[in-house]
């Protein structure tokens, strides 16, 4: 196996494959990266059993092939070597006993590899239920929900985002039982049969980074226990979570007693200032005091060790009943970060009942739910 390739082109693709490689691989060979060279393309593969990424680099003036073959190399060392090579191009040659020579200008490395036949095969996913979705939409919906998944694995199903695809909509829900984020977007040509998937949050985080801003279309291939996303020259496999996702629709309140509309930037800044102190306390709680009678909104926080903060927050509209509620400011900050409009509406029912954060535009189907904190 021998080839020469443009170093920047290789690094760009290598960085994406490295997202699938864990430093704590349970199967030793999975700490490596698999390279397979044919006369048409170079294929890079990485996997940690939860996600697998395969990237194909076609033969071109940036990639010239002398002889075909395959090898698995230790991913971390290989990646560091390639990034530190001096030249514009580098040459790669597999010799006897899987020893691999990497050279560029005056620099030459020899590292030990492994037989690529021992690398686990990627799952075969039938393409009967395949459908396409705009990369921008998929990335958007991931970023608006993934942050709310559970990080504790006591309820494994909550560590994923629940996607429901239908011919004309895509709906995604994530909750860790303290907060919830639900986003629904209209699709032009979704799958003909409804598809229900629970995809791990960690997988979606990596997929979102790979999709980037420029991918016009993603092909989604759902399988029994895996899902495949294909974009340009990248194939991204993720395992699916088993189990029944809870019926989250029943958690969303259908009416409210108090509502307030905030400018997103104003509320975010006030929350950042309040969090400076509450993060130092044991509880990390802020209080929101809505005084409808006097048309005032006050945000306050206390740290027994440091002191307290109090601020009047400007708002666009406030109506309903007076209310004081306590909550974790980080949950609201995450919700505001995911918001898609310049203003949000917060609706409340009771001091100890969850409240919602929604866009100030009726045509956007996006609701976030936050559970308050009992402080007495």
**CATH classification for the domain delimited by 253-370, as one of 3.40.50.1820, 3.40.605.10, 3.40.50.1400, 3.70.10.10:** 3.70.10.10
Residue pLDDT, tens place only, 242-284:
999 999 999 999 999 999 999 999 999 999 998 888 887 678 8
pLDDT at 99: 95
- The answer on pLDDT for 215 being more than 90 is no
| Percent above pLDDT 90 for the chain | 78
Q: Which of 373, 328, 364 is nearest to 344 (CA)?
A: 364
154 or 121, higher pLDDT: 121
Q: How far is Cα 216 from Cα 60, in angstroms, rounded to an integer?
A: 23
Structure tokens at 169: 């909509």
Edge-to-edge strand order for the sheet containing 258-263? Answer: 195-200, 160-165, 169-175, 179-186, 365-370, 355-359, 343-348, 258-263, 317-320
Evaluate whether the domain defined by 131-248 bears CATH number 3.10.150.10: yes
Residue 218 CB neighbours (<10 A):
22
Backbone angles phi, psi at 294, to 5 degrees: -95, 5
- The answer on pLDDT for 208 being more than 80 is yes
pTM to 2 decimals?
0.91
Mean pLDDT of the chain: 93
Residue pLDDT, tens place only, 90-136:
999 999 999 999 999 999 999 999 999 999 999 999 888 889 898 99
Residues of the chain with CATH 3.10.150.10: 2-118, 131-248
- Dihedral sign computed on CA atoms, order 211, 213, 214, 217: positive
Residue pLDDT, tens place only, 76-89:
999 999 999 999 99
Q: Say which CATH class 2-118 falls into.
A: alpha beta
pLDDT-derived band at 204, boundaries 50, 70, 90: very high
């Amino acid at each position: 196996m021998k080839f020469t390739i443009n170093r920047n082109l290789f690094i760009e693709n290598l960085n994406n494959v490295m997202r699938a490689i864990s430093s704590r691989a349970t199967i030793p060979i999975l700490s490596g990266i698999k390279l397979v060279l044919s006369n048409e393309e170079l294929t890079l593969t990485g996997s940690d059993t939860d996600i697998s990424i395969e990237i194909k680099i076609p033969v071109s003036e940036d990639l010239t092939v002398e002889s075909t073959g395959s090898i698995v190399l230790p991913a971390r060392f290989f990646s560091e070597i390639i990034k530190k090579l001096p030249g514009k191009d580098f040459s790669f040659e597999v010799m006897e006993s899987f020893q691999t020579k990497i050279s560029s200008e005056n620099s030459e490395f020899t590292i030990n590899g492994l037989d690529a036949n021992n690398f686990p095969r990627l799952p075969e996913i039938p393409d009967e239920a395949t459908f396409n979705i705009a990369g921008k939409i998929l990335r958007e919906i991931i970023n608006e929900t993934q942050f709310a998944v559970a990080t504790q694995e006591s309820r494994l199903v909550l560590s994923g985002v629940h996607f429901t695809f239908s011919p004309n909509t895509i709906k995604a829900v994530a909750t860790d039982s303290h907060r919830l984020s639900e986003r629904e977007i209209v699709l032009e040509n979704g799958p003909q049969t409804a598809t229900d998937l629970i995809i791990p949050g960690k997988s979606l985080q990596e997929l979102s980074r790979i999709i980037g801003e420029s991918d016009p279309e993603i092909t989604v291939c759902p399988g029994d226990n895996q899902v495949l996303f294909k974009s340009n020259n990248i194939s991204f496999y993720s395992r699916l979570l088993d189990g029944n996702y809870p019926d989250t629709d029943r958690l969303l309140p259908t009416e409210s007693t108090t509502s307030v509309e905030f400018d997103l930037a104003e509320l975010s800044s006030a929350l950042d200032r309040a969090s400076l102190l509450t993060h130092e306390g044991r509880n990390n709680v802020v209080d929101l005091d809505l005084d409808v009678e006097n048309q005032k909104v006050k945000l306050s926080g206390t740290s027994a060790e440091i002191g307290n903060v109090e601020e009047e927050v400007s708002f666009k509209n406030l109506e309903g009943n007076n209310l004081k509620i306590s909550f974790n400011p980080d949950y609201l900050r995450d919700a505001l970060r995911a918001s898609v409009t310049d203003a949000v509406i917060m609706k409340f029912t009771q001091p100890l009942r969850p409240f919602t954060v929604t866009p100030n535009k009726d045509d956007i189907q996006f609701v976030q739910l936050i559970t308050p904190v009992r402080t007495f």
